[in-house]
Homo-oligomer: A and B are copies of this chain.
Amino acid sequence: MTETANHPVTTSQKTIRILETIFRKNGGTLTELASELGMNKSTTHNHLSTLVDEELVVRDGAEYRLGLRLLELGGYARNQHTLYQQALPEIERLADQTGEIANLVVEEHGHAVYLACEAGAQAVNIEVYPGLRRPLQVTAAGKAILASLPAERIDEIIDRHGLPAKTSNSITTRDELTECLAEVRDRGIAFDDGEHIDGLRCVGAPIHDDDGDILGAVSVSGPASRMTDDRFYDEFPSIVNSTLNVIELNINQNAP
Contacts and interface: CB of A to CB of B under 8 A. Distances in A.
Given A68-B113, A113-B71, A76 B15 contact: no
Interface string A98-134: 0000000010110001010000000000000111110
Residue of A7, A9, A113, A115 with most chain B CB atoms under a 10 A cut-off: A9
A28 B38 CA distance: 36
Contacts of A13: 50, 54
A66 interface: yes
How often does this chain occur in the complex, in copies? 2
Contacts of A182: none
Contact of A15 (B15, B27, B53, B115): B15
Nearest to A89: B119
A26 to B, nearest CB: 7
A6 B19 CA distance: 20
B129 A80 contact: no
Contacts of A167: none
Contacts of A132: 72, 75
Given A4-B53, A76-B129, A12 B47 contact: yes
Interface of A: 4-9, 11-16, 19, 23, 26-27, 46-47, 49-56, 58, 65-80, 106, 108-109, 113, 115, 129-133
